[in-house]
Structure 1
Amino acid sequence: MNPILRQRLVGALVLIALCVVFWPIVFVESVDQQPIELRPTPQRPDIDRSPLAQPQSPEATIRERVKPPEIDRESQMQADEMTRLVDGESDSNLSELNAVDSVQKLELRDAAPIVPVLDAAGYPQAWVLQVATVSSESRAKTLVEQLVDKGYPAFHARFARDTVVQWRIQIGPKFEKESFESIKSEVDRVLKVKSMVVRYQQPL
C-alpha cells in the first residue's frame, strides 16, 4: 500500500475516534439531575406481642382416644418373681441350651391356626414366655444375644417397680400358648428357673 494513502487512512480513523469521544461533550445538552430528597424514617410497625398458643399435637389427640391394651398385672408380677436371677450369678450355662430347631421341631398342622382374640381395647391377645428378670441392662442384652444365637426369638423389656428399674427377658410373642411348651421345658432345665407364659404387653 502507498505510504501516503496509509497515513491518510490512519488520520481519518483518528479523526473519527475523536468525533465519537467529543461529540456528546460538545453537542449533547446535559441533563440536570434531580436533587435527592431525604424523607423521614417511617414509624415502626405495631407488633402483636401476645403469647402464641401451644401447637396441637395430632399424636396427643389420638392417644387420648386410644385405650391401652389390657395387662394381667398379677400374672406379670408372679412371673417377675419366679424368673428373677440373682446379681453376679453366672449365665454361662446357656451354652448348654439346645437350638430351637431341635427343641421345637417343625410339624405339619392338622388344623388351621387359631384366630387371635381381641381384648376390650381391640388389641390381639398375644403371649410371651418370660424366662428371666435381671437388674442390669448389660446382662439382659447378653442373655438375649445368647438366646438369639440359639434361634430363640428373644428380646428384653425395661420396667420400673417401686422406683427400681429392671429388665425382663422374654421369648415371642406368639398367638398360641401351646407353642411355648417345648421351649419352656428346655429353658427351665438350663436356666434353673420357672419360666411363665404371660400376656404380651404391646408397647405404645
Structure 2
Amino acid sequence: MDNLVKQRLVGALILVALAVVFWPIIFVPGTEQVDDLRVVVPQAPPVDLTPLPEPDSLGLRSGQEAAAQSVEVQDVAFPDVDVSSDVEPAGLPASADTMPVAELDDARDRLESPAMDEDGLPIAYSLQVATMGDKARAESLRDELVSAGYKGYVKRMRRDDRVLYRVLVGPRYSKDELLPVKSAVDKTWRVESLIIRYLP
C-alpha cells in the first residue's frame, strides 16, 4: 500500500474520532436545567432627615421628645431626712481623718522610685529560702511560706543536667526590706537563706 494512502486513511480516522467526540458537545443541546438565580435586594429603609433641635447650655434638648423621655418625680415620696445634720455619710472617713491634697502630693514625692539597670528594668531582690530537686517538696515549702504570710513562689532552673526548684520570697525593691524577713524565715524553718537579685 502506498504511504500516501496510509497517511490519508490515518488522517480520515483521526477526523472521524474528533467528530465523534466533539459533535455532542457542540451541536447537541444540554439537558441540564440551570436555575435562574435572582438576588432580591430590599429597599432602603426610610430615614428621617429632619434636624434635631440644638441642645441648651446643659446639654438637654427641649421639645416633645425630651418631654416624652422625662420622668415625673413629683409624686415620689421620700422619707424625711434631716439635712441640717452634721453626721458624715456612712462609709466615708471622718473629716478629721482625711489628708489634705498638698500632704498627699508631698508623700507621693517622697516615695523612692526603684533603681533601674542598664536595660531599663527595675532592680528588685528576692529571698532564696531553699533549692531542691523534688518539685513536690519545693511546692510544700512554698505553701508553708504563703500560709505564714509571705509571698512565696517556686522557680524552676537547670544546673548541668539536673532540674532544680528554688523556693523564694519576694520580690522587694530594697534589700533592707528583706532583712527582717530573712531573720524570721531562717529562725522558723532553720535554713540559711540568701538575698539574690530578682530576675523575672
Question: Using CA pairs below 8 Å that are at least 6 residues apart, which structure has the higher relative contact order?
Answer: 1
Relative to the length of structure 2, the TM-score reads: 0.45
Q: TM-score normalised to the size of structure 1?
A: 0.45
